[in-house]
Amino acid sequence: MALNESKLLQTVKNNSQKLGLDEAEIIAKMDSLKTNAQDMWYICCGHDMICILSIALCKALGSCNSKTVEPNVLEQNLRLAYESSYFCKTQLYAAIQQWEKNNQPFQVLPNP
């Protein structure tokens, strides 16, 4: 899968309600996202990534029926596939446990 930036820019301009988008400014901002010390996980949200994955599963990575890989269906399936053992290994889990310890008797997560 590859991003065709010029096609993306043209699509954005064609579908934008804001007339007179400055193409050079958009290209400069896109370039700065690639070159700055940006954490790429903050460039778009998870819902955006699911939409990209949905398109990719229909066109680039596979030939799925678009109904079977609608974003809401993908999100649901990914939530069901995410095991608690994976979550227990994350920084978020550790931070929640630390918060619980610092804010007793409050409990966010069930006991293991």
Sequence-separated (6 or more) residues with CB below 8 Å from residue 43 = 33
Sequence-separated (6 or more) residues with CB below 8 Å from residue 56 = 1, 62
Q: What is the pLDDT of residue 89?
A: 94
Determine if the pTM surpasses 0.75. no
**pLDDT per residue over 63-72, tens digit each?**
777 777 899 9
Over its C-alpha atoms, the chain yields an Rg (Å, rounded) of 20
- Give the whole-angstrom CA distance, residue 82 versus residue 75: 11
